[in-house]
Structures are given as structure tokens and as C-alpha cells.
Structure 1
Amino acid sequence: MAAFLTRVKGLFQHLMERPSTVDLKKYTEVLTSIEWREERVAKLTDAELTEAAGELREKALGGLDAHGMVELCALGREAARRGLDQRPYDMQLVGAMELLHGRVVEMGTGEGKTLAGALAAAGYALQGRAVHVMSVNDYLARRDAEWMAPVYELLGVSVGWVDQESTPGERRIAYGKDVTYGAVSEIGFDVLRDRLCTDVEDLVHREPDVALIDEADSVLVDEARVPLVMAGSTDDSQGDPEVAAIVRTLRPGRDYERDEDNRNAWLTGRGAKIVEKALGGLDLYSGDHSDRLAAVNAALHAHALLQRDVDYIVRDGKVHLINTSRGRIALLQRWPDGLQAAVEAKERLDPTESGEVLDSISVQGLVGRYQRVCGMTGTATAVSEQLREFYDLKVSVIPPNKPCVRVDEPDRIYDTVEAKETALVAEIVEQHETGRPILVGTLDVAESERISEKLTAAGVTTVVLNAKNDAEEAAIVADAGAHAAVTVSTQMAGRGTDIKLGGADGDENDHDKVADLGGLFVIASGHYSSSRLDNQLRGRSGRQGDPGRSVVFASLGDDLIAQYAPDATAGADPAEDGRLEDQTSKRFIEHAQRVAEGVHLDIHRNTWRYTRLIEHQRGLVLAYRDDVLRTDLAAEQLKEQCPDRWEKLAKDVPEDVLTVAARQILLFHLDQRWSRHLAFLSDVRETIHLRALARETPIDEFHRAAIGEFKGILKEIRELAVETFEEAEITADGVDLTAAGLRRPTSTWTYLVHDNPFDSDAEQALQRVRAAIRNVKAGKG
């Protein structure tokens, strides 16, 4: 009975926590009070407005009460009216108040999320809290900080921003502001850089307090599978051009096979013999050539599974990964060194620098450092369970200021990709003749260029926006609503940029001209791996009550179907143009998308299961490191452990110099030992799937190994520090770590790395078993 009541209670709680539209009744009185207060605030001079905000800051330290919330919204509304010539709608104020209650708010396209976020950030700042507004890229972070600056200035709130070009001094100043804007990756990289500082003066961050996350679904879900990494230079060897050349000669189906999902590849017995002969007759599977086997596996994955202009592009002699959720270059992103080097060797490029991982952090670990987290996006409902499961965040849906009148047509489904694209081009040509602006959302770079070429051949001039010209994306997308414009874009390129009917510089007549034609027509060339991404694309049309239309052209030959519903067949014969009208085809497409969403959720879960323990261990190490960095703890410990050595040195070396030397020695060993620990865990992770063959649970075995390796790590660090302190030469000028053989990396760099690039543990294990069976049958024993 108790168990039953527990389940019922859990179900009830789950239902209560589901996203729901904000009940405006509870805000009716507040909004009325704001409007009443607004009339009085409007009579204040700019200086008096700022002074009133200062008075609110004094009262609001520790939190905003109901009266303080009214005062904040009234002052914020007037500041926006004066600074931006925009009077925030009631719904924007409601959004800001929900953000101040620690929610993720869902607000539709064109509903003014940026301004609502700025009012909330100012509200937190006036409570004496430091706010980081995290965005998906540098451009949006800088744009929003500069755009909202007049509002912050009138409210007496300081604002700054960081991007890749910011110097350490500029970063320190920016993080010292009340509100700091930055890309989530850049803020995370600054955390990693701070972890390598050996002097408090070099730190740029303050203690994390409030994180307000723009495009929260993208940052907290899509980016959560991609850890941020800090690396240091080493002399490790790079990719193997010889292996790459051998793999290029292999033929699919004969020398290697791929699984149905095209997510893994393995050599057949014949392929293994060819590779072994080409490498001089060695036995790849003997265990004596594990490095060669790893190089072959990486080269095979690069050759068979990673496609140029789909998974990556080559520009300026370098490989640039493509962010699949946004269709643009994933700046600073790379695969683990072995696979990265294999792709570079495949493309006959000079290898990039290789190195050891000094530290890393997941987006989930980064966000988890903050005392308060909130966010905003246009599509939060679809990921509400993940936001609750991984971040303990609840979603509030803000009603639109004006009802959305966009028409979302049913899918147009075809039997083949060729038939689909022919129909898609014909539809664009027909609509273009009316002058109606069209935004075409494609699935990858190659498809965007192919469709553009077909449209050009049909006499339609297009603007193509993909990962190859992402620097111009904001300007291109801003004009996508101009009369007769046809924009072909990869998924969500230009996200965060509003599309105005009539174009960015159009007037009311231009707007009305396009509105009379039906508004922006959004056409998708297929379904994405998530319904949320579909909705994001549709949401580019129909802003603020504008007319609009959207439709998805799909086919049973699309990659989504081939990967997640390979047995899909039409329920009826196609029409002459290849179109399918039956419900069976529609159900297969819906099924494939649901399966894809489940796979991505499993990857997210799997990533967090493996990194959660590491984040805990990192927290313990960093707490100790912070004590060493900010106090005289290192000196106290070494003085206690090495009293004779300390006393002898103290005769010729000033106390403060000895203290600094002790700190540098201990920090060196702490950083080096932590880096070694991460390398050990990486090795364990790469081979943990083999535990499944022994019927052991991989995650349990990983935890067992990680805990065992971590036990005693702080004691070992102190012992290494004692050994160095006893032997190193320390003079009045300090300690020369290099002379003592303690060499820090000569250069460091940051990048994002695809976690789990090949497959899940169980699937990898299964593929290995299959490969082993094939090798046995082929006589390899």
C-alpha cells in the first residue's frame, strides 16, 4: 500500500510539474500596480530614474518583495521606453518576473525575450547579485549587451561582455560588472583558464551566482553533450597518413561493414588481412599493436562515417566541425585527438597541435556551479522533462502578446529524395513569382548547396546561409523577410535574429506589402532529429501576430528514416509525382523522429552518468586548489613536513619568497596529478564497453575504477610536493620549476570535444563481438 501511495504521489508531482501556461490571474493585480506606478515614473528625469533604481537596490538586497517587483518593472519599462524606444508588453514583464522566480520561460518568436531577459538580469543585479547572461555564440552575446546597455545604464546597472578576442584584462573588467554577457563556451573556457592560474591576480571570474540562459534549450540540451576542454602542448605523434592511405583503398561491403544506423564501422576478415599486409604483415589483434589498431579504427571511422560538408567542412586548410543542431561551424570544436587527426589525414591536411587534457567541464557541470539558474527560449516545452531531470528547472509558458496566426500545413511526403526535391523546387518557384519571401531550412551544408543550385537553374536567385559563411548570418537572416527574398539556410543558422516582414530596413509599407502576400513562407526540406528543431524553424515565421506559413517536405529516403526507421515502406502506391498520401508513411516518419529523440536523450543521460562522479571529484580537488591559491596553506604544509629544509632555506630566502615557492610547487603537482587522473579516466571510458562482454555493468565498473584511482590523490600530491621542495633549488629569486624538471605546457588552447563519438557502450560491445566472430570465421582465430 505504501509503495502504491508513493507511486501515486510521484505521478501527481510529475503532472503538477509539467509545463503550463502562466496563470495571468495571479499577475493581474501586479500588472495594474505597475501601470499605475508607470505614470509617476514617466515624470522623472533620467537622473531621478537612476536615483530611484539606486534606492530600490538598497531596499532589495537579499530579495525583491511584491512592492519591489512592481517598482522594478515600472522602472524597467520606463528605462526601455527611453533607452530603446520600446515599451515592454505586459507579457514581457510577466516573462521577466518568472525569470526572477528561477524558471525557464517559453516565449514565442518576436515576443521580446532579449528585453525580458535584460529586465530580469537588472532585477537580480539590483538585489546585489552577479549575473551571467549565457548565449549560444559570441555575436549574440555582444549584440545583446550593447543593445540593452541604455536600459542598464538608466537603471544604474553596469554591463559588460566577453568574446574570443577579449584580453585577460578585458575579461576581468567584464566579469566585475553587475551583468556579464558571454557565449556559454567562452564563460566555461574562462573557468578552465582560471583553474590553471598560480596567482590570485590572474583570475578573471568571481564566485558564480546567477546564470540567465538565452536559448536555454540549445545551451542546456544540445550543448550538454559536448564537454569544454583545456589542453596543453605535448610531443605526442599525430595522425598516421600511411594508415589513412591504406583505408582509402578499402571497399564497403567487402573490406568493411557499417551498421544499419551508420554509426559504427568495422573491418571484415578480408579487410583486416589487407590492412595487416599493407602495414608489413603485423597481427592487428595480437595485443602487441594496440596503437596501430586504434589508428586503423579511427581512420576507418573518419573514412566511412564522417562526411565532408555534412559532419565537417574544410576551410583555410583546416577541418571545422559542423554543429548539427544549428547548422553552423562549431567554433573551436574537435573530436578526440585520435579521430581528429584521422580526419585531417583523410583530407591530406597538416595535423593540428596535439596535447594532453589539463581539465574539462561539461555544460551541465558549468551551470551546476551557479546558485540560481533561469532561462528563456521559444521551445522549452519539448525538453521540459530533461530540464527537470538534469537541472531541476521548471518551465513556464508565457502567452503571446498577439495570437500566432501562422498556418502550419501538413507534411508533403514523397517516396524518394529526388521526387521530394523536385516538388520542393517547384513550390518555391511558384511562390517566388508572387514576391512572397521564402526561407528554406535544409538539413546540412551539402543539401543547402544542392537545392540552391537547383533553384538557380530554375531561374530563382537565392542567398545561401550555411556553415561556410556563418559570419554574415545575422545580416542575411535579418533580410529574409524582404519582398521576393529566397534564403536557403541550414538548421537554425541566424538563430536569435528577428526576421521582419519587408526586410531589416523596410518601413511600414514594405511590411504591409509582404503581409498582404501571406507573410514569410518557411519550407523545411525534411524533418530534423527533434520535433523541437522543427518548431524552431517554423517559429521564424508569424512573429508578433504577423501572417505566415510553414510546411515540411519529407521523403521515405531521408537520412532520418534510413537511420531510425530503416524498414519504412509506403502504405500505398505513390502518385505520378512520387507523392504519398497514406497514413502509414506519415506514421513511419513520426516514429523515426521519436526514436531519434530517444537516442539523443540516452546520449545526454549517458554523458551525465559518466561525468557526474568526475564533477564531484573535480569539486573536491578545486576546493583544495582554491585554498592553496588564496592562502598560505602550501607553506604551512611544507613547513610542517620539511621543518629542517624550511629552516635552512629561511636563513637566505625571505619568508614571502618561500611562501610563493611552496605554493607554486604544490599547484604544479596538483594540476599535473589531476591531468593524469583525467587521462586515466579517459582510457577507462574508452575500454569500459568491454566489461559488457563479461556481463558486468559498465557504469558501475567505471565508478569503481574512478573512485579507486581518486582515493588518496590529495595525499599523493602533498608527497610529490614534499619531494620537490626537498630537492629543488630555491633562492631569493624564487624556485625555478623548469630546472627542477617540472615543466608546465609551453602553450595551452581550448576546444569542445564530441563525447562518445562512435556509439553507446552496449552497441560498441555488440559490434566488437560481431567483428570478433567474423574474424574467427575468416580464420583469424
Structure 2
Amino acid sequence: MALRDRLRRVLQRPGSVDLGPYEQVVAAAGEREPRMRDLADAELAEAARNGRDDPAELCAAGREAARRALGERPYDVQLLGTLALLSGHVAEMATGEGKTLAGALAAAGHALRGRRVHIMSVNDYLARRDAEWMGPLYALLGVTVGWVGQESTPDERRAAYAADVAYAPVSEVGFDLLRDRLATDPSQIVLPEPEVALIDEADSVLVDEAMVPLVLAGATGSGAADPTYAELVRRLRPGVHYTTDEEARNVGLTAAGAREVERALDVDLYAPDRLDVLTAVNVALHAEALLHRDVDYIVRDGAVKLISGSRGRVALLQRWPDGLQAAVEAKEALDASPTGEILDSITVQELIGRYPVRCGMTGTALGVAGQLRQFYELDIAVIPPNRPRVRVDEPDRLYATGADKEVAIIEAIEAAHAAGRPVLVGTLDVAASERLSRRLDRAGLRHVVLNAKNDAEEAAIIARAGERDAVTVSTQMAGRGTDIRLGEGVTEGLLVIGTGRYHSGRLDDQLRGRAGRQGDPGGSVFFTSLEDDLVTRYAPDEKPGGRRGPSADDEGRIGDKGAHWLVGHAQRVAEGVDVEIHRNTWRYHHIIGLQRRELLAERDRMLRGKGAGELMAAREPSHHEELAGIAGADAVNEAARLLLLFHMDRCWAEHLAYLADLREGIHLRSLGRGLDPIVEFNREAVPAGKKLLARSQDRATEDFATLTATEEGVDLAAVGLKRPSSTWTYVVHDNPFGSLDERALRGLISLVRGRRR
């Protein structure tokens, strides 16, 4: 082993994979390349099939197939990524290094080994683009491929999932699973048994969005919030009538605020029988004080659209829990969106956990190596770039105030633009991007803005971002899926400017990685200030530079090492909070997932067999015999099956509602008693879950005993077997400490005690 490789093994980071064995396979594949060039297409496909147990043969055949079908010869490093994915790891590959092709070759390899593969992307656009782009490669290798989007019909979904490789947004796979869980006939099911999940943007999906609940709801009418509460809290004054905590995660009325609300509504706000008013006021207050337009959401086409915190774009189908969603709609004077009873839900982490084989690819994985190992048993293969990176990453430029920072950013953009250098500016949210855009307009700098308000045009905007003189302002670049290629005459490369550090260093790296792709020249620099939200929220008590603070030059720039350390410290605290949030929320959802799994196993047995009829025959033998004598045994067994499935689904929906109320109540009770809310939650949730199956069977038996029949069949309508008239799916913008309205309620407890004392 060469000294360089020995040194790399010694310095290898925990959780990362040794690339040595893969490099040997790639070298062997290179030796076989001339032979592959001489094969006919059919012979090449046969070589790929023969490579099921020979990775070098598979890589050699895949490389030649890509050259013929796509006009692209995979680099050695792309084959390293392919082998890492075939081995069930997360491949960390920098932006522009060809993850899409590496993933397709790996998917084909899994498929040729007899495993069905689901490649999960972050949106419809990427799912369709990649499936169509890689389609010729799959066809040449004899592998079938399909894709699923939000508008796909059940038959289209079933056909796509039946292919060897199916591309789909992770949310659509989850929604299809939820709908399958309510199927009353096996023919309605669209998803096959899970085998291989290959996750694009793996860190974003598996960590940032791991605890996001995907929800299937049934219609129960509109959940409009009373606009009176929105109008009332709008008149309240911050610091006088209500206060927020340092992290802006909670808001609560002051004593003066409570008196003002009571005067306006003419109620005793804390009377036991007015809990509904108390809840409504505080949910409205949360919507008014903690959720900000163009930061947490935008208003488009007369509706509230949430913004994904990890991607800076509109989160399709995403909404807050119904009470808070309605409160924000009332705040914006919009029509209320429909609400309904939650019939079932699943987190992204639980969805991915169903697959026996999991792998993924992203540009930034090492920062979450611990979480990928803990929650998914995944290690990371750090794939080197095809060409050495020559991007120059400057130290942060730190300023005393946000105003000084913004002036410096404009000056830096002007200087780069004057030299003809393209500039990509990353902002933290929509509001910041639009504020910067107005400053650029005043400075006479032509530019384009890519944020959640125009993300439909993102591919075209990004494609032009590397042209000479281009200035592009974007709210995050994670998951954009499009490379920035340099235009003619751009000798210094793309300059990436960050207008502040994100709450995660991975997001910084994703922005920075847009420059210097494939060995291109480029540079990056982040502008920060001691007034940035990251610092004031996560390090509010730290005071660098003593009582007077750190010294700044005439432009407000700070060189003090302690002040620079503080920004990094705040980011590390934020990352630690996110890890704890993930771990804490997982503990809640874990028990729910176990209970659902147990009930689903029995439900599936009833769905596919004669278990329901046998159960009713055992519990109500004489009535079963009587009905069978009239309508026939098959009709009676079918009625028993539909009856039992109905009550299993009803009991589960009721159980979910109970757990939501329990989780909220547990927080309120444990806050005063000093108890661990998760322990208390499990203490009550576990026994309740154990009663689910028996309760559903008892209810089904009671209804079965009342059934009547004719020669035409069993009359199920008489027992009120009525499922929701319509269903829909959405993503809940959940929070690790409970839903947002739960936190608003928790904040009131201290106030109530204060008044009672």
C-alpha cells in the first residue's frame, strides 16, 4: 500500500468507509474496458447481467453502456461512488461530480441482482428528469425504469413501481404507502414490498426531514379560525402584552396582555370551561408573533405556502397542524383550507427504515455521520473529486452590525461584477433575498433572484448563473439539482457569497460547493455579523472582547479571534440542538411506529385471507351460519373482512387523535411536576396501543351480530360502514417539542401559575 493510502487510512474520519477495495475493483474494470468496447449491445447487456457477482465486470459494462447511451464515460471516481452505493453506504460526492450517473449505475446493479430499487428524490422535477435522462442507459442494460410524480394516477404509479427502478419524490412514496394501508382489496395496492432505497440528497432527506410526518386525512369539513382572534392579537404590543423566548420558539401573554384579552373578549381567560378560547388566542398569537411572511411562508394564489427550512423553496403539500394553519390563514385574511381527521401518518425516517437495503448520495454527509449511523446504520464513503479542487475559500468577514455587513456585501458584489466575474449570493430566507435585491437595484446592478416565490424557473436561472457578469441571489442551493457551468471568458470562476452562516455547516458547504466544480476556478466567502440571528439566538450570553465588545475598523469589520470563534460556536450549538431535536422526536414516533406495525400485520392477514370470516365464525357461530345459509359463505366472509378492516382503521385513527392529545397534555403536566415527558407519554401510550386490536375485533363482532342478508348478499349499509367521502395527503410541519400550538399552550402555564400566586 502506498504511503499516501496508509496516511489516508490513519486519518480517516469515524463513520467513513475505506475506499481501497473499491479502487482495486475500478482498476480491474479499467483493464476490461477495451473488451467491452468490442461487444455488441446485446452482448454488453449480457456482460452486465453476468456482473451480478463480479463488481469489476458490472462497472466495466456500465461504463461502456453510459458511453454509448448517454455520450458520457463515467470517471473512476463515479465508479467508486457506484460501488459505495452497491455496498449500502452513503456516497459523499461534491457538486458537479456526477452523482446522478453514479446513482443510476448503482440502481442498475441492484436491479440486475434481482432487487427492485426506489430512487427517492426531493421533488417531482428531479424524479422525472433523472428517470428520462438515464432511461437510455437502463434500456441498454436491460433494466426497466419508471417515475412517479404528484399528478400520477394510481395505474401510472402501479406501473412505475413495477419497474426494476422507480424514481419518485420521497413524499409520494410515503403517501402511496399510507393509501395502501387503507386498501380494502389487494388489487388497490400500488407499492410492492420494499427492497432497495437509494436516496438523493441523503443528508437532507434522512436527517433534516427525518421526523417530518407524512399524513393521510379524511374530509370532516372546514377548520376556519375565527378572525376575531387574529385581529385581537394584531393589536397587542410585544414586550408589553406578550413576550417571546430568546430562541423565538415560544410566545406567551404577560399579565397585562391577559387583562387586555379578557377585556376585549369579555371572558375569564383562565376559567376551566374556556380552554377553547385560551387555546385559540395563543395559537393566533403564535401565528402573529413567531411565523413571518416571506421567512416561514409566502402567500401565493390566495393560499399560504410553507417554505422548506432546509431547501429555501416552497414545500409542496406541506402545512402546519390544522389549528395553526387556520390561524395563519386568518392572519393573512385568506379562505381557510380544508381540514380533516388524520387517518394515518408515517415519518420519513420510518418510511426509509422499511427498506432492507438503504444507500444514498449527497455532497455533504460527514457532518451528520453520527446520525446516519445511529438511525439508519449507514456509513459514508467520501469520494474524491475527479480533478483537484482549486476553489479559494476565504475566511469569514465579520462585522459588528448587520447594516455594516450589508454594505460590505454590496461592495463585494460590485467589485466582482466590475471585473466580469459571475456571483452567486446565498441568503437565509425569502425576505433577506428581496431586501438584498432592492439594495442591488439601488446600486444599479442587474441581477436575478431565485427564491421560494419563483422556484419553478430555478433550472433556467441556475443554468445562467455562471455566465460573465451574472449576479444571482438565491435562498439556499441544497437540492437544486442543477450544476452551474462557467461561461466563456470567466477566468476567475464563480464567486459564492454567503450573507450569513446557516444553522448547519452542511448548508454552508452546499452553497460553497457551487463554485469550483470539476476543478474549475472559483472562490467563496461568508459575511457574518454579531447581530445575525444565528449568534443572537444560539449564543446570546457570550460577549467577545470584554465589556466594550470587540474593536472594529472604520467599516465595522472585526478581526478579533474570539468574535470569529463565537460565530462558529453559535453554529455548533444550533447543530447540537438539531441533533437533540431529532433524537427526542424519534423517541415519540418510535412507539407509534411499533404499534402501527403490529396492527398492520394483523390487518394484512385479514386483507389477503379468510381470517375475518373465521374470526366471526368463532365469535358468532350461529349467526355466521345463518347468514351463510342465505347469502353464501363467500359473501359472508367478504362482509366480515370489510367490517373488520373498517373498525381496525377507525380504531387507529382514534388512537392517533388520542396520542396527539396525550402528547400535548403530557407536556403540560410534566412541565409542573419535573417529569420526563417521553417516559410519561410511553407510560400511557403503550397500554392504549395493546388494546387496539381487541377493541377493533369487539366492535366488528357487535356490528356483525346485527347484519342481515338476502340471496343478493349481506347488507353492510345498515351498520353505517361509511369511509371518508374524500381523502388527501400533506406533510405536517412538525416540531421536536410537539406541534407549534402545543408549544404556545406550554408557554401559558407559567403565566397561569403566576396569576394564581
Structures share fold, TM-score greater than 0.5: yes
Residue of structure 2 aligned with 1:602, choices 555, 580, 584? 580
In structure 1, the partner of 2:471 is 486
In structure 2, the partner of 1:720 is 699
Aligned mates of 1:174, 1:773 — CA distance in 2 = 57
Residue of structure 1 aligned with 2:688, choices 702, 709, 713? 709
Shift of 1:603: 1.1
Shift of 1:732: 5.1
Letter in structure 2 aligned against 1:489 = S
Letter in structure 1 aligned against 2:35 = R
* CA shift in 2, pair 1:494/1:223, >3 Å: closer
Shift of 1:236: 6.3
Equivalent pairs, count: 742
Residue of structure 1 aligned with 2:679, choices 664, 687, 700? 700
* CA shift in 2, pair 1:203/1:760, >3 Å: closer
In structure 1, the partner of 2:45 is 50
Equivalent runs, 1:447-486 vs 2, <5 Å: 447-486=432-471
Aligned mates of 2:17, 2:687 — CA distance in 1 = 48
The DSSP-based 3-state class of the residue aligned with 2:344 is strand
Residue of structure 2 aligned with 1:628, choices 595, 599, 606? 606
Letter in structure 1 aligned against 2:157 = R
Equivalent runs, 1:580-619 vs 2, <5 Å: 580-619=558-597
TM-score (ref. length: structure 1): 0.92
Residue of structure 1 aligned with 2:148, choices 139, 155, 162? 162
1:41 equivalenced with 2:20 (yes/no): no
1:133 equivalenced with 2:128 (yes/no): no
Q: Which 5+ residue runs of structure 1 have no aligned equivalent?
A: 1-13, 503-509
Equivalent runs, 1:68-87 vs 2, <5 Å: 68-87=54-73
Letter in structure 1 aligned against 2:152 = S
The DSSP-based 3-state class of the residue aligned with 1:652 is helix
1:115 equivalenced with 2:101 (yes/no): yes
The DSSP-based 3-state class of the residue aligned with 2:413 is helix
Shift of 1:345: 0.8
In structure 1, the partner of 2:3 is none
The DSSP-based 3-state class of the residue aligned with 1:234 is strand
User: 1:524-576 CA deviation, whole Å, 9 max, x = no partner?
Assistant: 11000001110010001111111110000111111111211223545332222
Aligned mates of 1:202, 1:41 — CA distance in 2 = 44
In structure 2, the partner of 1:268 is 254
User: 1:233-288 CA deviation, whole Å, 9 max, x = no partner?
Assistant: 114643121111111111111111111111110011111122122223x2222221
User: 1:51-107 CA deviation, whole Å, 9 max, x = no partner?
Assistant: 333455xxx4xxx3xxx1111101100110011111111111111111111111111
Letter in structure 2 aligned against 1:723 = E
Equivalent runs, 1:308-457 vs 2, <5 Å: 308-457=293-442
Letter in structure 2 aligned against 1:45 = A
Shift of 1:389: 1.1
The DSSP-based 3-state class of the residue aligned with 1:228 is strand
Residue of structure 2 aligned with 1:295, choices 280, 286, 291? 280
Letter in structure 2 aligned against 1:501 = L
Equivalent runs, 1:517-532 vs 2, <5 Å: 518-532=492-506
1:775 equivalenced with 2:755 (yes/no): yes
Letter in structure 1 aligned against 2:498 = A
1:177 equivalenced with 2:163 (yes/no): yes
Aligned mates of 1:336, 1:763 — CA distance in 2 = 12
The DSSP-based 3-state class of the residue aligned with 2:210 is helix
* CA shift in 2, pair 1:438/1:734, >3 Å: farther
Aligned mates of 1:532, 1:221 — CA distance in 2 = 11
* CA shift in 2, pair 1:18/1:560, >3 Å: same
Residue of structure 2 aligned with 1:669, choices 647, 662, 684? 647
In structure 2, the partner of 1:9 is none
Contact persistence 1:661–1:730 (CA under 8 A) = no
Aligned mates of 1:583, 1:170 — CA distance in 2 = 58
Contact persistence 1:34–1:73 (CA under 8 A) = yes
Shift of 1:32: 2.8
User: 1:479-533 CA deviation, whole Å, 9 max, x = no partner?
Assistant: 211111111000126622111111xxxxxxx2xx21x1x1011001100000111
Contact persistence 1:693–1:765 (CA under 8 A) = no
In structure 1, the partner of 2:19 is 23
In structure 2, the partner of 1:642 is 620
1:658 equivalenced with 2:661 (yes/no): no
TM-score (ref. length: structure 2): 0.95
Letter in structure 1 aligned against 2:337 = T
* CA shift in 2, pair 1:596/1:733, >3 Å: farther
Aligned mates of 1:737, 1:412 — CA distance in 2 = 72
Aligned mates of 1:593, 1:771 — CA distance in 2 = 32
Letter in structure 1 aligned against 2:606 = V
Structure 1 window deviating more from structure 2 (192-201 vs 47-56): it is 47-56
User: 1:23-57 CA deviation, whole Å, 9 max, x = no partner?
Assistant: 33x3444223212222111111222222333455x
Aligned mates of 1:106, 1:774 — CA distance in 2 = 52
Q: Which 5+ residue runs of structure 2 have no aligned equivalent?
A: 1-9
Letter in structure 2 aligned against 1:526 = G
Shift of 1:739: 4.1
Contact persistence 1:103–1:374 (CA under 8 A) = yes
Contact persistence 1:99–1:374 (CA under 8 A) = yes
Shift of 1:733: 5.1
User: 1:296-316 CA deviation, whole Å, 9 max, x = no partner?
Assistant: 111010011100000000111
Aligned mates of 1:285, 1:757 — CA distance in 2 = 27
Contact persistence 1:21–1:398 (CA under 8 A) = no
Shift of 1:332: 0.7
* CA shift in 2, pair 1:731/1:520, >3 Å: farther
Aligned mates of 2:736, 2:164 — CA distance in 1 = 39
* CA shift in 2, pair 1:735/1:104, >3 Å: farther
Residue of structure 2 aligned with 1:233, choices 194, 219, 229? 219
Letter in structure 2 aligned against 1:646 = H
